[in-house]
Amino acid sequence: MEKTMEKIKPVKITENFYQLGTPFFPVYLSIGDDAMLMEGGTGGAFNLVLDQLKEIGVEEERIKYIALTHSHSDHIGLVPHLMPRWEHTKLVGTEKAAELLRNEKVLEGFYDMDAFISQRLKEIGETNDLAPKSEGFQFEIDMIVDEGDKIDLGKGIFWNIYRIGGHSPCQIAFFEDSEDNLVVGDAAGLYFPKVDKFWPEYFVSLEQYCTSLKRMSELPGKRTALSHFGVIDGDSKTFLQNSLKATEAYHNEMLERTKNGEDPDIIANEKARWILTNHNYMTFEITEQMCKLLIKRSQKDADKEGLFA
């Protein structure tokens, strides 16, 4: 049974930084002379985000950029709906993101995934909409960025770009030092604020993931904007160090349990069930597959030293 929707309000984080979208699929709005959306969101939040922009009083014509932290299908859902509407807007991402988004195999499951998420948001009352149809739209990165680049929005709002690895081959982080906002995407894993627990997400490489956490913790962020569940207030260094500790514990658990003869499939099944007690936006099958992948990544780096130091 679908729940009655209560309109989700935009959240003012700082004077020039807002959280839009839904709690599990937030997008962020940075405002200078120009404005920029950060994260690609989900298609089911299309009308919601437009309404939130109106509530803040930011004209759509003012948004000059949509910046992707990475190109996973649950983080690009707004793109094929907003970009045809916003011809004045540039889609920002890395060369690797551009390459992935031109790959037909990568895009094959995108619409099905976005439709599933949109249906889920409607069922739990976070939106009244399904994802608008946009078949045939090509994801084209208009502005390729890399380590050391900056995006200048005017009024002293500069976003510095950092290449970070481990979660996705195209992941980047953004830091804005006038307000000390740090946007990390999924690079710190999936954090569940209600229970203060992390699920690490080192899908590409555990070693790169740990290096990225340590590197980002050197930035003087006063808050950390995540790809899921929004902004975590407080010292970014402490939050990211806690993520690293949780990653170490998860990695050691995977190694110890498989070393003791437990079936990796049973471990993955257990972990997937735990994850989905803390959120209900993904299918069990996909979550279980990701848990199996983490076991393989831990086994691959089992003999690496200094991962967490």
Residue range 12-64, pLDDT digits in tens:
999 999 999 999 999 999 999 999 999 999 988 999 999 999 999 999 999 99
pLDDT for the residue numbered 111: 80
The whole-angstrom separation of Cα 276 and Cα 119 is 17
Domains of the chain: 11-245 (3.60.15.10)
For 56, the token pair is 């803040």
Residue 258 has pLDDT above 50, yes or no: yes
The whole-angstrom separation of Cα 116 and Cα 118 is 5
For 288, the token pair is 């279980």
Mean pLDDT of 272-293: 95
CA distances to 13, 97, 212, 215, 286 from 173, rounded to whole Å, are 18, 13, 10, 11, 25
pLDDT band at 156 (very low <50, low <70, confident <90, very high): very high
pLDDT for the residue numbered 138: 66
Q: Which residues pair with 223 in a beta bridge?
A: 181, 233
Mean pLDDT of 243-266: 98
Rg (CA), the chain: 19
The whole-angstrom separation of Cα 93 and Cα 1 is 38
Residue closest to 253 by CA, chosen among 277, 281, 274, 226: 274
The percent helix, strand, coil of the chain (3-state, each to 5) is 35, 20, 40
Residue 2 has pLDDT above 50, yes or no: no
Contact between 58 and 35 under an 8 Å Cβ cutoff? The reply is yes
Residue 266 has pLDDT above 60, yes or no: yes
pLDDT band at 5 (very low <50, low <70, confident <90, very high): low
Residue 269 has pLDDT above 90, yes or no: yes
pLDDT band at 137 (very low <50, low <70, confident <90, very high): low
Tokens 């990568």 sit at which residue?
Answer: 106
pLDDT for the residue numbered 58: 97
Q: What is the pLDDT of residues 105-122, one digit of tens each?
A: 888 788 888 888 888 888
In whole angstroms, what separates CA 244 from the centre of its chain? Answer: 17
pLDDT for the residue numbered 209: 98
- Residue 202's contacts (CB-CB under 8 Å, 6 or more residues apart) are 166, 167, 208, 209, 210, 247, 294, 297
The whole-angstrom separation of Cα 159 and Cα 140 is 21
The overall average pLDDT reported for the chain is: 93
pLDDT for the residue numbered 287: 96
Percent of the chain with pLDDT over 90: 82
pLDDT for the residue numbered 4: 44
Residue 1 has pLDDT above 60, yes or no: no
Work out whether the CA dihedral 294, 309, 244, 269 comes out positive or negative. Answer: positive
Strand (E) or helix (H) holding 243: helix 236-259
For 175, the token pair is 């830091």
Contact between 36 and 65 under an 8 Å Cβ cutoff? The reply is yes
pLDDT band at 7 (very low <50, low <70, confident <90, very high): confident
In whole angstroms, what separates CA 261 from the centre of its chain? Answer: 34
Q: What is the pLDDT of residues 183-239, one digit of tens each?
A: 999 999 999 999 999 999 999 999 999 999 999 999 999 999 999 999 999 999 999
pLDDT for the residue numbered 109: 80
pLDDT band at 127 (very low <50, low <70, confident <90, very high): confident
Mean pLDDT of 95-103: 93
